[in-house]
Structure 1
């Protein structure tokens, strides 16, 4: 199994063993806002922590970790342009396989500018992008998010994450990937199965991937295995489950 969206820097050492024991072989850790990102120095130190520390912690527990780095909409500091200038160097590092987590939180002018700039950067680099959708005003902001994606990058390079029932209809014809986040206060494994049962074949079985988004928020490192278990209980065949929990993420990100 692959957990396609975590924030490893917020998790204790023991979580990685728990994930590995449950059958998760790989995970993607993404840049986010673990503290007040007041200056570019804080943001860049966050990137360095992911590269310098988290890979070692995961590997020592048998978990292969890859990274996505980028300027999260809640991490836009006053001197954000310095982060954007340095970002290509970070994206060129061996363990970095995507740009992310990026997107809109409130859809302010500066968020849209930073989002658009990073999408164009990824398009030029032919690099995959993990795109955030917020908890608040989710549908309204997702509509704006999709508009910016379509005007800035080849959508097939993009995964729109934290997809739920409030926005799934907006993504029926989206050419990229859809991330289903199973996390306390977002979606239970049972709710994920219900969402997937109504859309999996219609939208295309190759379009979905599962993730836990485990972070400092209420989280469960076993979200993906628990969802796989519920899919089995619901009678899903092994091929479809493998696509959702491993193959789609592996093919998209190149694990």
Structure 2
């Protein structure tokens, strides 16, 4: 199994062991906002922590940890262009497989500008992007996101994350992959299962988005268990819990 979106730098060492015991063998850890990212130097230290320290911590427990790098909309440094300018070099690291998570939180001009510049870079480099959708004003922000995405990147390179019943109809026909975040306060396993029952499994990936917020590092295997109980076949389960992520991130 693959947990397609985590924040490893906020989690204890023991979580990786629990995940591995439950059958997770790969995960994608994303850039986010663990500290006030007021200057690019902090962002670079954060990214290096993911690529070096956390990759090693996961590996010691039998998990291959891949990394998405970039500027989260809640952590835009004043000199953000320094980060974007260095992303191509950072992405030469074999464990760096995407730009993300990037997106829009409140809809400010700065957020949209930084988001657009990272999308343009991803499209130029032909690399996947992981798109953050916020908890508040989700439908309104997703409408803005979709317009920016359509104007700046091929949909086949896009994973729109934290999709739920509030926005599923808005995004299901867009040509991207979609992330189902199973996390306390966001979505329970049975809710993810109900979405897949209605829309199938071809466009979806499962993730825990585990971070410093209330989280469950076993939410992906728990959702897989619920899928089995609800009659999904092995091929469908493998697709949504592993193959879709493997194909999208080329891992």
What is the TM-score when the length of structure 1 is the normalising length?
0.97
1:3 maps to which residue? 3
1:232 maps to which residue? 228
1:180 alignment partner, SS class: strand
Match runs of 1:27-38 below 5 Å? 27-38=27-38
2:208 pairs with 1:215: no
1:254 maps to which residue? 250
2:174 maps to which residue? 174
CA distance in 2, matches of 1:169, 1:13: 38
CA distance in 2, matches of 1:52, 1:224: 25
Match runs of 1:56-205 below 5 Å? 56-200=56-200, 205=201
CA distance in 1, matches of 2:231, 2:9: 36
* Greater mean alpha carbon deviation, residues 73-82 or residues 12-21: 73-82
CA distance in 1, matches of 2:249, 2:52: 21
Give structure 1 regions of 4+ aligned residues with deviation exceeding 4 angstroms: none
C-alpha displacement of 1:189: 0.6
C-alpha displacement of 1:60: 0.3
C-alpha displacement of 1:13: 0.3
C-alpha displacement of 1:118: 0.3
CA distance in 2, matches of 1:92, 1:228: 33
User: Structure 2: where are the runs of 5+ without partners?
Assistant: none
2:40 maps to which residue? 40
CA distance in 1, matches of 2:52, 2:229: 40
CA distance in 1, matches of 2:155, 2:6: 22
C-alpha displacement of 1:87: 1.6
C-alpha displacement of 1:206: 2.1
Taking only aligned residues, the RMSD between alpha carbons, in angstroms, comes to: 0.7
Aligned length: 251
C-alpha displacement of 1:172: 2.3
